[in-house]
Amino acid sequence: MKMSFRWYGESDPVKLEYIRQIPGVQHIVSAIYDVPVGEVWPLDKLQALRDRIEGAGLKFEVVESIPVHEDIKLGKPTRDRLIANFQQNIRNCAAVGVKVVCYNFMPVFDWTRTEMARELPDGSYTLAFDAEQVAAIDPEQGISLPGWDASYKPDELKKVLDEYQAIGEEQLWAHLEYFLHAIIPVAEEAGVRMGMHPDDPPRPIFGLPRIVKNRDDLMRLVKMVDSPANGITLCSGSLGADLCNNIESLVHEFGGMGRIPFGHLRNVAVEEDGTFYESAHLSCEGSLDMARILRAYHDVHFDGYVRPDHGRMIWGETGKPGYGLYDRALGAVYLNGLWEAITKFVPEQKATA
């Protein structure tokens, strides 16, 4: 298991030199953030990013994420040019040593939360999703949630939501299949493994189709183009926000197939109605048993990349919600501690196929 840490470039208040001091963290997960969605990432920018990361004594082998343009998801005539650009981004990433590319196929936005800073009883702050609040929103009257307004003006958001009214789940699956048949052969040739991130949260919202929510969806995804390059970014927090998803079982099944190149390790405290908040990583803090999840990764002889996903904001830290240094660092050390104990004291098992 290769422990990594997400970094948002030089504008990130979390410095690479601080990340380097976290025991067991050797890899950085990053991306190019100043190129418009759908355009080609210049090779020199990727090389500069790699050089900066390696110069800090870390490795750059995972990109998160290459965004998928909405025209591809909507199946518009412009998608072929945009897919060609995505293909070139895969090649350019491979040219600088990237081995895994994370992406998603969520309509409009890649996550939804109702609170950026819910205060927990211990005084820390975290991301939260209130199912009742989301259910009460009428998209026709406008949506005002953290993260949404930053990407679209109200009239633009209404336009793209209206376009999706004509797109059901099966049509979105068809557009995904078209996309996968175009990019997976390129990834194979480049030696890159693609990791689809599941829907976050894993349920329909605002009438938008959501197609990567559970075990059956994940199986349909990996069988759609049956290649080791067509894999999953298994996010425990995203999938775990639906209590029907058994994360250990998913790790056993898809890890046993060799289809998890990248894992997000996040704990969530989930209520029956789907309301949840992102807790500390420890098993006793949330609804997920992180020790059992790590044990499942061990059982399938996982040797890919993981990162401590979102963390709380603790010790007075400010900055990008979910992406402070301190709690994610605690999470990385905790997860590495679990992994060390498991690898030392749990007998090796034959990985399931």
Full residue range of the structural domain in which residue 238 is found: 2-345
pLDDT of amino acid 353: 46
Inside any domain, residue 352: no
DSSP per-residue string spanning 96-146: TT--EEEEE--SS-S---SEEEEEPTTS-EEEEE-HHHHHT--GGG----T
pLDDT at 200: 96
Convert the pLDDT of each residue in 214-233 to its tens digit: 999 999 999 999 999 999 99
Is residue 350 a part of any domain in this protein? no
pLDDT of residue 153: 74
The CATH number assigned to the domain holding 56 equals 3.20.20.150
Whole-number pLDDT of residue 138: 84
What is the Cα gyration radius of the chain?
Answer: 19
Which are the catalytic amino acids? 197, 235, 264, 309-310, 323
CA atoms 117, 123, 129, 135: torsion sign: negative
330's torsion region: left (phi>0), alpha (psi -120 to 50) or beta?
Answer: alpha
Query: CA 126, 21, 6, 213: dihedral to nearest 10 degrees?
Result: -60
The number of distinct structural domains making up the chain is 1
pTM (2 decimals)? 0.95
| Domain-embedded: residue 293 | yes
Residue at 85 is within a domain: yes
Predicted local confidence at residue 94, as pLDDT? 98
In a domain, 353, yes or no: no
Low-confidence residues of the chain, pLDDT below 70?
A: 147-151, 349-353
Pairing of strands 305-308, 59-64: unpaired
